[in-house]
């Protein structure tokens, strides 16, 4: 009697914990539901330091908001995983997880054991993957227009959707360019390292002024005193890691100068020292000098800049330590750590190095083009009229490149606009009829949960979600697997004809990651804090 009472109390606690976990995670999912799709809203995020950002990217929104509940944090991690795995679909994955969690709530209330739900969900996930694979179409990387369509779909839900016709072809060309370069050196053609494509932001102009540069772009611009060169053809480029300033002693000490003669001597010495270094640089035949950023002391000073510009040497300072390897590989130069080893054979080359002003004012950048091995040296020079737009354009471009990477990894596309999710729902419903008992019940609930994507797309676009999702379901049972929400016209139409397509990998990974996360949350029956 006593024992059974105890056990029941325990069970009640487990239920409460599960309930609160689900509610916390769902709250996060609901928070970003409104930003799904081309008609989704954007979020303005104000950080603690007063900085403001506007974004539509699910992963970015979630990484910025502060959540405390441990399962709510799991949703944040979920969207991060999707960002790493596929790059796009970070909102979808959370919306799906939220919807699966609410259907879990119903199932738990009906008294179904969490393990039974988890098992059924695993099977449903496997089946969903099959359905997706079945409805996908193979895509060839030579079909440029199809690739552009897929990237445009990704960009259409961003703040910069108006500029998709400029940005999408650029993302496609950039990835194909790197892929061609990889092919030439015999690298793996089924993946691509996106860090090979540099994104450089320049404030000024509009997003439409964004350009693809076959070469390097230095964001920081030139360091010059009056009269230094701003354009150099057939440049010989040196990359130095030593300093062009007066040396410091090892120990902290002060020199007290009490008369003019001593001061003069000191200045003369400094002048001589720096001039000596500059002369050696000039002697090696260097015409463009890259200086690594230094934290120990000033890597350059006014005096050295003055000498270098007198010698017609262009100076680009503050090169990040992390970029040194990429730069030296691209330009064919070797980083030099001491002036004595600065010789002509260490220099790299470029046919043109020039300072490019921003279209509408703003800080100039430096472009290096005509590199020794130009293949795959691609920089996307992003432009925008203000920092908010520019940053969001940069994030959107990252998503666009990720879509291309997904297509390189797995060369299949599927219809967007909720077509994939509704197809899964319809097929799983059919399949559940061949299952028995509790499992069939859970699979049906899983299938219904998938409908959240077309439902939300319609809702966000101000359409009637219930009527349209029902119609969509009918269309799919009749075999029209390409039908989806046409949010522009407020109707249902064939998504392939509307050119709304997305990579298979994005949807595949969204569904499997969301299911995994939900089953993980389901299986938790206690939260133990250890301080
Ligand atoms: N023109 C369109 N018509 C209908 N649906 C579209 C269209 N363009 C995109 N979609 C749909 O919008 C959804 C993607 O929306 P969104 O880009 O806001 O979220 P996400 O890709 O999940 O997350 P994020 O881009 O923030 O990482 C997909 O389901 C896609 O099929
Ligand atoms: Mg997207």
The predicted-structure confidence for 6-44, as pLDDT tens digits, reads as follows 566 677 777 788 888 888 888 888 888 998 988 888 888
Catalytic residue chosen out of the listed positions 91, 152, 379, 515: 91
Total domain count, the chain: 3
Residues 8 and 134 in one domain: yes
Higher per-residue confidence, 375 vs 329: 329
Question: What 3-state DSSP class applies to 348?
Answer: strand
Task: Catalytic residue, from 399, 456, 515, 519: name it.
Answer: 399
In terms of domains, do 396 and 474 share one? no
306 plus 387 within the same structural domain: no
Cβ within 8 Å of residue 354, ≥6 positions away = 230, 231, 232, 366, 367
What whole-number distance in Å separates Cα of residue 139 and Cα of residue 154? 17
Highest-scoring range by mean pLDDT, 49-63, 182-196, 219-233, 413-427:
413-427
Cβ pair 342, 244 in contact under 8 A: no
Long-range contacts of 53-57 (CB under 8 A, 24+ apart): 53/388, 53/391, 53/392, 54/159, 54/388, 54/392, 55/159, 55/392, 55/395, 56/91, 56/157, 56/158, 56/159, 56/392, 57/90, 57/91, 57/158, 57/395, 57/396, 57/399
Q: What is the pLDDT of residues 247-264, one digit of tens each?
A: 777 777 787 888 888 889
Spacing, Cα 287 to ligand 2 middle (Å): 45
**What is the tens place of the pLDDT at every residue in 397-411?**
999 999 999 999 999
Distance 457 CA to ligand 1 centre (A): 8
Closest ligand to residue 36's CA: 1
Say if 156 falls within a structural domain.
yes
pLDDT of 222 > 90? The answer is no
Give the chain's radius of gyration (CA, Å): 29
Q: What is the domain range of residue 194?
A: 142-221+363-410
Ligand 1 pocket check: which of 75, 92, 508 to mutate, most ligand atoms within 8 Å of Cβ? 92
From 327, 362, 397, the end of a domain falls on 362
- CA distances 97 to 19, 90, 117, 392, Å, are 15, 11, 14, 25
pLDDT over 70 (residue 413) = yes
Q: How far apart are CA 38 and CA 40, in angstroms?
A: 5
Positive/negative CA dihedral, 313, 319, 323, 325: positive
Encode pLDDT of 96-107 as tens digits.
999 999 998 889
Q: Is residue 529 part of a domain?
A: no
For residues 341 and 369, membership in a common domain is answered with no
Across 293-315, average pLDDT: 85
Instruction: Write out the H or E segment, with its range, that includes residue 11.
Output: helix 2-33
- Residue 372 domain-assigned (yes or no): yes
CA distance 407 to 411: 5
Q: Which of the four pLDDT bands, split at 50, 70 and 90, describes residue 1?
A: very low
Asked if residue 50 and residue 71 are part of one domain, the reply reads yes
Per-residue pLDDT, averaged over 352-372, amounts to 85
Domain boundary among 352, 375, 410: 410
Q: pLDDT for 436-462, tens place per residue?
A: 888 999 999 999 999 999 999 999 988
Does 12 lie in the same domain as 69?
A: yes
CB-CB neighbours of 194 under 10 Å: 17
Q: Choose, from 55, 60, 71, 90, the residue flagged as catalytic.
A: 90
86 close to 503: Cβ distance less than 8 angstroms: yes
275 and 259 in one domain? yes
| Residue whose CB lies within 8 A of the most ligand 1 atoms, among 29, 33, 38, for a mutation test | 38
**What is the secondary structure of 371-428 as a DSSP string?**
-SS-TT-EEEEEEESSHHHHHHHHHHHHHHHHHHHHHHHS-EEEETTTHHHHHHHHHH
C-alpha of residue 435 to centroid of ligand 1, in Å: 33
**CATH code of the domain covering residue 396:** 3.30.260.10
**Same-domain status, 103 and 191:** no
Per-residue pLDDT tens digits for 105-114:
889 888 889 8
Are both 357 and 367 inside the same structural domain? no
Q: Which residues line ligand 1 (CB under 6 A)?
A: 35-38, 40, 56-59, 88-92, 153, 156-157, 399, 416-418, 453, 457, 485, 487, 500, 502
Q: State the chain's mean pLDDT as an integer.
A: 87
Residue 390 in this model has a pLDDT that exceeds 80: yes
């Amino acid at each position: 009697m006593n024992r059974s009472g105890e056990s029941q109390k325990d069970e009640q606690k487990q239920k409460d914990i599960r309930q609160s976990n689900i509610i916390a995670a769902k709250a996060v999912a609901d928070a970003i539901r409104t930003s799904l799709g081309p008609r989704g809203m954007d979020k303005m995020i104000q950080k603690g330091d007063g900085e403001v950002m506007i974004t539509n990217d699910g992963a970015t929104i979630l990484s910025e908001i502060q959540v405390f509940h441990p399962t709510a944090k799991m949703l944040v991690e979920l969207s991060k995983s999707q960002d790493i795995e596929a790059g796009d679909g970070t909102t979808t994955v959370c919306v799906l997880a939220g919807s699966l969690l609410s259907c879990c709530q119903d199932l738990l209330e009906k008294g179904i054991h969490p393990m039974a739900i988890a098992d059924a969900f695993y099977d449903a996930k496997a089946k969903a993957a099959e359905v997706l694979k079945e409805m996908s179409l193979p895509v060839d990387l030579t079909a440029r227009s199809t690739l552009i369509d897929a990237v445009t779909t990704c960009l259409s839900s961003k703040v910069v959707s108006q500029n998709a016709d400029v940005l999408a072809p650029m993302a496609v060309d950039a990835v194909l360019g790197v892929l061609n370069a990889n092919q030439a050196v015999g690298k793996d053609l089924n993946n691509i390292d996106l860090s090979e494509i540099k994104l450089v932001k320049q404030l000024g102009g509009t997003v439409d002024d964004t350009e693809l540069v076959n070469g390097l772009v230095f964001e920081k611009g030139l360091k010059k005193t009056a009269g230094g060169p701003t354009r150099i053809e057939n440049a010989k480029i040196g990359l130095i890691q030593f300093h062009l300033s007066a040396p410091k002693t090892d120990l902290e000490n002060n020199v007290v100068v009490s008369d003019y003669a001593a001061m003069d001597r000191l200045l003369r010495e400094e002048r001589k020292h720096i001039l000596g270094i500059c002369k050696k640089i000039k002697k090696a035949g260097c015409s463009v000098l890259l200086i690594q950023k230094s934290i120990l002391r000033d890597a350059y000073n006014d005096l050295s800049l003055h000498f270098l510009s007198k010698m017609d040497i262009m100076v680009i300072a503050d090169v990040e330590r992390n970029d040194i390897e990429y730069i030296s590989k691209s330009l064919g130069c070797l980083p030099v750590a001491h002036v004595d080893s600065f010789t002509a054979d260490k220099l790299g080359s470029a046919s043109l190095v020039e300072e490019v002003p921003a279209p509408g004012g703003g800080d100039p950048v430096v472009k290096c083009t005509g590199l020794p091995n130009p293949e795959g040296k691609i920089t996307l020079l992003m432009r925008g009229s203000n920092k908010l737009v520019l940053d969001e354009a940069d994030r959107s471009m990252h998503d666009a490149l990720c879509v291309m990477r997904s297509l390189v990894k797995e060369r299949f596309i599927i219809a967007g606009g909720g077509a994939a999710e509704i197809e899964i729902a319809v097929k799983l419903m059919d399949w559940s009829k061949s299952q028995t008992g509790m499992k069939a019940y859970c699979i049906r609930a899983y299938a219904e949960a998938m409908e959240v994507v077309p439902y939300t797309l319609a809702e966000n676009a101000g359409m009637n979600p219930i009527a349209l999702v029902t119609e969509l379901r009918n269309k799919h049972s009749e075999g029209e697997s390409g039908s989806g929400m046409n949010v522009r016209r407020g109707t249902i139409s064939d998504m392939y004809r509307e050119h709304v397509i997305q990579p298979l990998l994005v949807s595949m990974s969204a569904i499997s990651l969301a299911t995994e996360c939900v089953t993980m949350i389901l299986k938790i029956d206690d939260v133990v804090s250890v301080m």
